[in-house]
């Protein structure tokens, strides 16, 4: 099998493939005018021939270019050359959240990442942009401490009335899809918060809450399945999760900022004690200390008690 030919785009020297999906391939490239490494996202040739897809791809570039936020990927350039459609974005080499979850995250790390992406979504939503595909693979890292939201390929600008999707066609990833997305209903910014809730559960536990044999079964669980329960050491986050994963959008957080404030408030409270009930320990503590003190006195008394030596006549 012959290796796939690299696309030729003036001004860019393509080095290698760094990611591949159904709609596009992402290359590591050098922007020759600046010598800057970039992530060059190129629409798959088969889709580039379809006006619906290349219009959506161009729309993605325009959406990201307008979203200037510390936790949203930066866009340097977008365009086309001989039916090759591309978007040049900042190259983020600190990995994805998907990889971080596999390695394991502390609750503190999960909360920090959640708040950063919630802030990014809050900003995007105020610009009338809904992401619609929040998942660990679309959350990258600029450095170990800074999470960045990427891949606005199916994002929707609420001000743009152009219909680029067939009516009722479900957009998103089934494992992270809100109930309204699964049902093909109209969505608003709260669908992103639901998906972020699924990501939060996965960051805390290492597993996804809803799993099934196929995409249909998973989607059905999002619609009808019970809200998952966190294990006891993480139970303090349950009220936040309950609101994030509410089946009806009206019961969820109204904004990313409200979510960030709520989870930070919970994170500042000490986790519940693990082990015996604290009240029982507090009641028994004086008696335990008294017993230890009595034992110490007895030991000292025995050590210094005068000893009578009896000698034989």
| Residue list for the binding site for ATP | 41
Query: Which residue in the block uniquely carries the two structure tokens 């999470």?
Result: 147
Rounded to 10 degrees, the C-alpha dihedral 114/118/151/30 comes to -80
- Catalytic residue selected from 133, 188, 214, 277: 133
Q: CA nearest 132: which of 65, 178, 99?
A: 178
Could you give the CA distance from residue 132 to residue 174 in angstroms, rounded to a whole number?
A: 11
In the annotated binding site, the residues are 41
Could you give the CA distance from residue 165 to residue 170 in angstroms, rounded to a whole number?
A: 9
Beta-carbon contacts of residue 163 (< 8 Å; ≥ 6 apart):
none
The residue count of the chain comes to: 313
Quick check: is 133 catalytic?
A: yes
CA distances from 66 to 44, 62, 72, 213, 276 (A): 24, 7, 10, 39, 54
Q: Which helix (H) or strand (E) holds 20?
A: strand 12-20
DSSP class of residue 213?
S
Alpha helix ranges (H) inside 104-137: 107-126
Active-site positions?
A: 133
């Amino acid at each position: 099998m012959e290796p796939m030919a690299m696309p030729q785009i003036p001004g860019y020297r393509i080095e290698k493939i760094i990611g591949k999906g159904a709609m596009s391939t992402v290359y590591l490239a050098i922007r020759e005018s600046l010598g800057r490494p970039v992530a060059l996202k190129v629409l798959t040739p088969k889709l580039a021939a379809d006006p619906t897809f290349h219009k959506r791809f161009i729309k993605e570039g325009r959406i990201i270019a307008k979203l200037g936020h510390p936790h949203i990927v930066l866009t340097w350039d977008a365009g086309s050359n001989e039916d090759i459609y591309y978007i040049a974005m900042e190259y983020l080499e600190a990995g994805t959240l998907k990889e971080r979850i596999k390695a394991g995250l502390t609750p503190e790390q999960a909360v920090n990442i959640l708040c950063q992406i919630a802030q990014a979504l809050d900003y995007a939503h105020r610009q009338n942009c809904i992401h619609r595909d929040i998942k660990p693979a679309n959350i990258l890292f600029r450095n170990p401490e800074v999470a960045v939201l990427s891949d606005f390929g199916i994002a929707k600008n609420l001000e743009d009335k152009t219909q680029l999707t067939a009516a009722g066609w479900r957009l998103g990833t089934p494992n992270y899809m809100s109930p309204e997305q699964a049902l093909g209903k109209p969505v608003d910014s709260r669908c992103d918060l639901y998906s972020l809730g699924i990501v939060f559960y996965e960051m805390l536990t290492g597993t996804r809450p809803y799993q099934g044999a196929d995409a249909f079964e998973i989607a059905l669980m999002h619609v009808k399945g019970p809200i998952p329960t966190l294990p006891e050491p993480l139970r303090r986050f349950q009220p936040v999760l309950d609101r994030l994963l509410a089946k009806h959008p009206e019961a969820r957080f109204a904004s990313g900022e409200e979510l960030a404030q709520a989870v930070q408030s919970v994170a500042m409270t000490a986790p519940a004690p693990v082990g015996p009930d604290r009240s029982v320990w507090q009641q028994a503590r004086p008696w335990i200390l008294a017993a230890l003190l009595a034992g110490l006195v007895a030991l000292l008394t025995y050590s210094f008690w005068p000893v009578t030596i009896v000698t034989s006549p």
